[in-house]
Amino acid sequence: MAKGTTHVDLAKYGSGGDQALVTSRDMYIDFYHIATGYCVKFKAFLNNIQDQFNSSWNSQQVYGRMDPIMNFQNTQRTVSLSFSVPAVNLEEAIHNLHSIEHLVSQLYPSYQGQVIAGSPLMKIKFANLIKSARSGHSAPDAMKGGLVAAVDGITFAPDMDAGFFIPHAGQVYPKSFNVDMSFTVLHTHPLGYRKGGKWRSNKYSFPYVTDPAGAMGESSNCRKGGRKGVGKPSPSNESIPKKTRRKRSGEMLGGKK
């Protein structure tokens, strides 16, 4: 492999299927190092993803009161991510190992002389599950659409069952390896509710932007009580003729039309 050719497009290797997912469906995990502007991408062979929202409360015990007084402090979001990085040949294995070098290097800060000038914050993006809920969220790259993240650490583990490519003495390149990481999300838009029950950054729904028109609406307002949001039973298959669906709904309601 020629020197300086380890930086290649994700679609250069692999099957036609995973190349199509990367190029037309943006199924890749993107990491952007804020301090330097460097980025690195991996095909999205996900093993696991967990999005945790943990609320912290200060518990205060008061004499004569059975239950403590709970003072809210904050709600923190932590994401755990695990993915595998396989290689179809030696060239891709070299590229993959070089990519993990880039990712690991993003854990380190930038310096001005001997003084830290920029902390190793990243932006991370994967489809609509790890993305910013603000302007630019639809961009496939982390630089524009990613979540600002303080990464706790990265674990690199070659898949020993898959084995290695051994092109020369003293050189081994994993045929596949696993990456495990977790990070704390630092949101760049306001969270919580304002007066009137509106979400503070109401332009996009949070956190996965399933509704780009807004976070909250009248369909979410249950202050008037009643059965709002319940609706009537209806067969899920919209291809069934309307008359037939109406009849079946009546049957589900005990003969009511």
Domain ranges within the chain, ordered by starting residue: 10-188, 222-252
**pTM of full prediction above 0.85:** no
The phi, psi pair for 86, rounded to 5°, reads -85, 160
More confident residue, 129 or 139: 129
The correct answer on CATH 1.10.10.60 for the domain covering 10-188 is no
User: What average pLDDT is seen over the chain?
Assistant: 87
Question: Which residue has tokens 């709002």?
Answer: 228
Is the pLDDT at 257 greater than 60, yes or no?
no
Predicted pLDDT at 15: 79
Q: What contacts 175, CB < 8 A, 6 or more positions away?
A: 86, 87, 93, 159, 162, 163, 164, 165
The phi, psi pair for 84, rounded to 5°, reads -110, 150
- Count of CB atoms situated within 10 Å of the CB of 42: 20
Q: What is the pLDDT of residues 74-105, one digit of tens each?
A: 999 999 999 999 999 999 999 999 999 999 99
Helices and strands, number each (H, E), in the chain: 4, 11
- Candidate ranges 7-16, 128-137, 246-255; pick with highest mean pLDDT: 128-137
DSSP state of 112: E
Is the pLDDT at 2 greater than 50, yes or no?
no
- Candidate ranges 23-27, 47-51, 204-208, 252-256; pick with highest mean pLDDT: 47-51
Residue 170 and residue 158 in contact, taking contact as beta carbons nearer than 8 Å: no
Give the angle subtended at the CA of 244 by the CAs of 240 and 245, to the nearest 5°.
70
Q: How confident is the model at residue 1 (pLDDT cuts 50, 70, 90)?
A: very low
Q: How confident is the model at residue 227 (pLDDT cuts 50, 70, 90)?
A: low
Is the pLDDT at 35 greater than 50, yes or no?
yes
Distances from the Cα of 40 to the Cα of 82, 150, 166, angstroms: 16, 16, 25
Is the pLDDT at 221 greater than 80, yes or no?
no
Please provide the DSSP assignment of 127-154 as one string: TTTB--SSTTTT-SSHHHHPEEEEEEEE
Question: Which residue has tokens 């069934």?
Answer: 240
Predicted pLDDT at 22: 86
Q: How confident is the model at residue 54 (pLDDT cuts 50, 70, 90)?
A: very high
Predicted pLDDT at 151: 97
